[in-house]
Structure 1
Amino acid sequence: MTYCVGLRLNKGLVFMSDTRTNAGVDNISTFRKMVSWHRPGERLITLMTAGNLATTQALVSTLDERTKVPAERNPSLLEAPTMFQAAQIVGETLRETIQQNRGSGQNADTQFGATLILGGQIKGMPPRLFMIYPEGNFVEASEDTPFFQIGEAKYGRPILVRAYDPDMDFEKAAKLLMLSFDSTLKANLSVGLPLDLQIYETDEFAPKLERRIEADDPYFQTMTVDWADALRGAFNSLPDPVF
């Protein structure tokens, strides 16, 4: 399984993903689930993936090849005129990749699906954030739905819903996502460290920050302990029910 979050702020976009994949309790591997394409001063596009590993790797490889090989550059994420059209390209490529795998793989219970978060900015337009479904269709983040989660989403959602503020700075947004991931890590073994974090500031057209958070990261360890203590303190401060 996996867990990825894309967050839309007034200042820009924040992305975080875990790196664990597993095919059983004794077959656990680490794979990067976040990839970016950017042309300095003109665009940055970031993709996060959840689902069948072979499908997502084939998808990313296809999209990447189309940005490099002249004969394969149409359609290319580096040539798409808008983020909407970039989402269309990714959705269509995902649908094609799933159909190809289904045609050559076993039909029994094999699952080739994947769900994606795509975000970024192209010069002359604001940053945009999308969630793309296995069928290739997608929805866009808005004021009512300012963040997307894919993968094992339920454990980390409550803190996002309660604490998100579109005006928060990037440091607070990173802290919020770390807390969301901490809750998920505690509740589900199929999500695991290290985590990948990317921060994008509007009109920069390059990552403001890219960081891998390892299991021994001092801040993450301290935050985990302090958050647990704060939750216990808040719990104990509440009045007991009267029966």
Structure 2
Amino acid sequence: MLRYRCSRGKMTYCLGILTTSGLVMAADSRTNAGVDYISTYQKLFDFSVPGERVIVICTAGNLSITQEVLTLIRRDLKAQLEHSLNTLPNMYEVARYVGHKLRQVSESHRSWLAKDNIDYQCTFLVGGQIRGEEPYLYLIYSQGNFLQATPETPFLQIGETKYGKPILDRTLRFDTPVDAAAKYALLSLDSTMKSNISVGPPLDLILYRTDSFEICHRAEFVLGDPFLAKVRQFWEASLRRVFEEMPEIEWNRSQPCPTSSMVLPTAKIPVAE
């Protein structure tokens, strides 16, 4: 059972959105090994120093790998090392630091996990702002390399991404107000939960406003949360209303359809003698 659970890669859904007015980070908390083994683990972590820097990390993939990476990051902070999340001068160096830790841990376990066909792949989202620069958002792979959110691609996803992507593709832009971006993030998570049992509450949501250097907006939505249920009901009702108002399809038929007045030939049924 444990081997199967560790080998699964898409056991969560995490999302980061970067806009001109701020940053949104969101994640579910579910991990499972089938319908008979479901548990929850935190996937969103805040390493901010209020007034100086805001750094938020989301994790997806092999749980043992991601937990070890976070442990190493916390040890560096506790030991007050020269290079840690509290001392790095910019978000690019933060992304390189997290990527190095992830590659280090992945390499140390890769051969042993591969022997048992256990998937060691992990991905991280790292977003935030350090005083003296603008906010940034990065997606970091197991190999330690990463890519950056841009005005043309203002959101990044990890984990079970396909169900929550269409709503973001159709609605989200770089100049979207950050408060609206938080709603899109919540709808993206809810759409994923609706379609995939491996993603589920509690949901963690963080909203950060550019140049505030402090996270003042946090939300956690547990199973059965009345607000989350209200959002889902409102969204589904709105979708049904929009579909009802859509123009009718203009069918182009090359041949006339048979009408009820036309007599169609009937098959002869053999009668047993």
Q: Does 1:229 align with 2:257?
A: no
Counting matched residue pairs gives 241
Aligned to 2:158: 150
Q: Does 1:95 align with 2:103?
A: yes
**In structure 2, what is the Cα distance between the partners aligned to 1:202 and 1:10?**
8
Deviation at 1:168, TM superposition (A): 3.0
Deviations 1:62-121 (A, max 9, x none): 111111114xx2431111111101100000100011111224445131111101110111
Moved >6 Å (runs of 4+): none
Q: Does 1:132 align with 2:150?
A: no
Query: Percent identity of the aligned residues?
Result: 41
Deviation at 1:41, TM superposition (A): 1.4
**In structure 1, what is the Cα distance between the partners aligned to 2:205 and 2:112?**
35
Provide structure 2 residue ranges, at least 5 long, that are not aligned to the other structure.
Answer: 1-10, 254-273
AA in 1 matched with 2:57: L
List aligned pairs for 1:1-243, cutoff 5 A.
1-70=11-80, 73-105=81-113, 107-241=115-249, 242=251, 243=253
- Relative to the length of structure 1, the TM-score reads 0.94
Aligned to 2:264: none
**In structure 2, what is the Cα distance between the partners aligned to 1:84 and 1:24?**
38
**In structure 2, what is the Cα distance between the partners aligned to 1:23 and 1:66?**
32
Deviations 1:199-226 (A, max 9, x none): 1111222212121112232221111011
The structure with more radius of gyration: 2
AA in 2 matched with 1:189: I
Deviation at 1:14, TM superposition (A): 0.4
**In structure 1, what is the Cα distance between the partners aligned to 2:75 and 2:243?**
52
AA in 2 matched with 1:207: I
Asked if the contact 2:154–2:173 (Cα under 8 Å) also holds between the matched residues in 1, the reply is: no
State the Cα RMSD in Å. 1.4
**In structure 2, what is the Cα distance between the partners aligned to 1:223 and 1:89?**
38
Aligned to 2:266: none
Asked if the contact 2:151–2:173 (Cα under 8 Å) also holds between the matched residues in 1, the reply is: no
Other structure's SS at 1:132 match: strand
Distance 1:153-1:106 versus aligned 2 partners, 3 A rule:
closer
Other structure's SS at 1:48 match: strand
AA in 2 matched with 1:124: G
AA in 1 matched with 2:21: K
AA in 2 matched with 1:227: W
- Relative to the length of structure 2, the TM-score reads 0.84
